[in-house]
Structure formats: C-alpha cells, structure tokens
A and B are shown apart, each in its own frame.
Chain A
Amino acid sequence: MGSVLVQLEQTGLATWIRESGVLYAYPLILFLHTLGLSTLVGLNSAIDIRLLGFGASIPLQSLEKTFRVMWAGLALNAATGLLLFIADATRHISNPAFSVKLACVALAVVVLVRIRRQVFRKNGNGKLLAAASLTCWLVALSAGRLMAYINEFIY
C-alpha cells in the first residue's frame, strides 16, 4: 500500500501539481475544490436550515433542482480531491485529520441521499437528518482545515 502511494506521488502528474509552481496547477485545483465544497455544503446547509423550520413557506419540491447542482459540486470535489491527494499521497494517508474528513464527507453524502428519499419523496420528518447533516459537514470542514496544521506538526 505504502509503495503504491509513493509511486503515485512520483507520477508526472503528481509532481507537476506539487512542484511546477504555476498558478493553473495547485492553486487552481485548490480553488475549484473550494468552489465545489461551497456549492455542495452551502446548498446542503440551506436545505438543512429549511428542514429545521426556517423559511417554512418554501415548498420542499422547489428545492429538488438543487440536488443536480450539489451532485455537480460533489463530482468536482471528487476529481479535484483526487488530484490534491495524489500530489501528497503519503502525507495525507498518515494524517488522521484526512481520514476524519473523508469519513465525514461520506457520511454527509449518505445523509443527503436519505434526506432526499425520506423527507423529499416520503414527507418524513427531516429535523434529525438535518442536524446530522450540519454536524457532518462542520466536522468535515474543520478536519479539512486542520490537515495543514497537523501536517506541519508531524513533519
């Protein structure tokens, strides 16, 4: 496993992202990752806030269209996240904040799918799911931010 990650890190693409220093390598990928997360987490938070009872006059059906936008944000972040990962694969894998972040993102996406199935389609109560969703995203964001600091601490 470790050697695979080292090989991954030494591919031309990974080296280019990490070391080329050009603005359309690492900085651009990082920007797109931020754009994707603010789209996905932002719209998901808006839905959570609505499910918690604010803006109760907004029909849930009208928010269905935002799922397509959120999935686009998720796809963008899976792609840019993968690029950011291979650029520093061994560091990321040994960083506990990275595992926490990935687990929370996965959980948050599962919660979002359940929100759509149980609340949007079957009119179930969404308060608990909304609270779970906001918690997952908060921990994911925090862990993502702290990755840089924990990296500094380890190395």
Chain B
Amino acid sequence: MTPAHLHLLLNHVPTIGFSLGLGLFVASLLAKSEDLKRASLVVFFLIALVAIPAYLTGNAANFMLQDEPAVSQDVVAAHQDAAMLALVPMEITGLLAWFALWRFRRWHLLALLVLSVLTIGLMARAATLGGEVRHPEILAEGTVASAPEWPRAAAAGAAFVLDNPWVWPISEIFHFVGLCLLFGIVLLVNLRMLGVVTGVALADVNRLLPWAMLGLVINVVTGMLFFLASPDQYTQNTTFAWKIGAMLLGGLSLLYPTMVNENSGMKPAAYAAITRAVGATSICLWVVVIFLGRFLPYFGSE
C-alpha cells in the first residue's frame, strides 16, 4: 500500500465524519442529551485528527500523478487549495471540541455549530474538486476556471515559506517550543497517571492540559509550513509516515483525561490499571514521535 492508496481510503472521512458529528451534535441539543453531546465532540476531534493524514497523503497521490497527461495539474492545485481552506476550520473545530470536552462553556455550542457547518461546506467543495481530478466526465464547464477566485490557501502557505528565508528557521524554533510545551505537560500528567508524581489530584494536573494542546497546535501549524514548502521530502519518506501515525495516536491519548475519571463508573482497580497503561503508552508515543522526527533526515528516503 502506498500513501496514494491511503488518500483514497481517507478522503471521504472528513466530509462524511464531520456530517455525522454535526448530526449527532444537533440531535444532542434537541434531545438535551449530555452523553450524545460528548459523543459528537469526540467525533469532531477524531475526524479533525484523521483529516491531517487525509491532507498529507493527497500530496503523495499528486507525486504519483504528476507525469500523468490525463490529470490536469490545475485541477489538482485547485483541489489542494480547497482542501487546505477546509482543513483550517476543521482543525479549529476539532480543537474547540477538545476544549468543550475538557471544560464546557456555553459559547462553545454556537461556535461549534457555526464552525462545523462552515467546515462541511468547504470540505464538500474540496471533495468535489478532488473528484474532478480523476473523473473528467463530471467536470462541469468552468468549475476550475472559477476556482482561482477562491483563496489559494495551500499555494499561499508554500509561497510564504519559500519567499521568506526567515520563515523556515523561525518555524523550527517554534517547532521546538511547541515540542517542549507538549512533551513537558504530557510528561507531568503521565507521571501523575503512573503514580510517580503523587500528592495531587489528577483533575488538578489536568488543568495544565491546554498548554500541551497549545504545543500541539504550534507544532501542527509549523509542521504544516515545512510540509507545504517541501512536500516531496516528506511524502517520499517512510519515517515521516510513521511519525505522523505515532503523532495521531499521541493526539488520541490527549482525549483520555477529558473523558475518563475516577467517577466514570469503572471499578477503582480497573480505572487505576487503565490509567497507568494509557500514561505509559502516551509517554512512549511522544518519545517515538521525537525519535522519528530526528531520524527523518537520515532514514526512510529512497
């Protein structure tokens, strides 16, 4: 399986998944169901995570198609710009969903509703343009010709990095700042989950988690800048694929403290065992992410 296969596997997930999330979310508001609401928030967060490899593998697919005469590079570029334009509000929605799970505020409701509807609209447009890459029979007259009127998000991001020589080094610094924030807070929370740090309630340590989330956001943004500027360096490197995989699982582990606590109805022994296991796994995942990130330039390219 190549990343191009993965793109075909993943490319319907953002549109369908977010529609499902929105449906659950609206249903939870109508039914005034707390459980359903939390379920929809989890769906938003998960789909926002999956949307990252859905975007990245698109560049891998593009790499394989670049010499294909039947594929219009204009359509591909329009699809990519549309995908980036949809990815940004999708990640913001996923982030907000995580915050709503961590500590719910009433304004989250309206913001999530507006953002998710906007995201689905933009993602549907990206999906339609994506369909036209391989299905010229559905290419409506003028669809792509009208695309340049939309913000060229991916191209603009790449140009921002390539035209300004200071962006890459500054982004590297921020990537390390984000790494320290994320790893430090997660390490502290996980040391508490493992029982190494004692004398404090897990709920109190969890109050620092938004700082870890901030670190993750900084690193997704700066990482995306690197990727936009030099996509082939990453899509043609298997170490990068594993790094993203480990990062997504690490991101998933950030959901655990927002969803499970000692009052979740689990037996105390089971809760303690699961919490320790999640804490240990989470530390390992982030160490693997750092390891693969460091080895990326040395290993995994043809």
Contact = CB atoms under 8 A, between A and B. Distances in A.
Nearest to B295: A27
A55 B184 contact: no
Contact of A31 (B173, B179, B182, B295): B295
Interface string B175-190: 0110111111101100
A38 B169 contact: no
Contact of B184 (A45, A145, A149): A45
Contacts of B188: 43, 46, 63, 66
A35 B198 contact: no
Interface in B266-302: 287, 290-291, 293-295, 298-299
B173 A145 contact: yes
B200 interface: yes
B238 to A, nearest CB: 14
A26 B295 CA distance: 10
Contacts of B200: 58-59, 62-63
Interface residues of B, number: 34
Nearest to B294: A31
Interface stretch (A98-106, A109-117, A134-142): A134-142
Given A69-B191, A138-B177, A141-B173, A42 B183 contact: yes
A25 to B, nearest CB: 10
Contacts of B169: 145-146, 149
A90 interface: no
Q: Chain B CB within 10 Å — which of A46, A145, A146, A149 has the most?
A: A46
Contact of B291 (A31, A37, A41, A144): A31
A23 B299 contact: yes
Contact of B205 (A39, A55, A146, A149): A55
Contact of B287 (A35, A46, A61, A144): A35
A27 B196 CA distance: 30
Nearest to A144: B176
A43 B205 contact: no
Nearest to A21: B298
A52 B90 CA distance: 32
A49 interface: yes
Nearest to B200: A62
Nearest to B184: A42
Contacts of B197: 62-63, 65-66
A46 to B, nearest CB: 5
B181 A45 contact: yes
A35 B290 contact: yes
Contacts of B180: 37-38, 41-42, 45, 137, 141
B35 interface: no
A39 B187 contact: yes
A57 interface: yes
A54 interface: yes
Given A59-B200, A62-B198, A44 B298 contact: no
Interface in B55-88: none
Given A37-B180, A58-B200, A58-B204, A23 B185 contact: no
B138 interface: no
B295 A46 contact: no
Contacts of B299: 23, 27
A27 B294 contact: yes
A61 B207 CA distance: 17
A27 B204 contact: no
Contacts of B181: 42, 45
A42 B185 contact: yes
Contacts of B196: 65
A34 interface: yes
Contacts of A57: 201, 204, 207
A46 B184 contact: yes
User: Closest 8 A-B residue pairs measured CB to CB?
Assistant: A42-B184, A62-B200, A62-B199, A31-B294, A38-B183, A55-B207, A41-B180, A42-B183
Given A45-B185, A65-B197, 11 more contacts: A31-B294, A39-B187, A42-B179, A46-B211, A55-B208, A58-B204, A61-B199, A65-B191, A145-B169, A146-B169, A149-B169
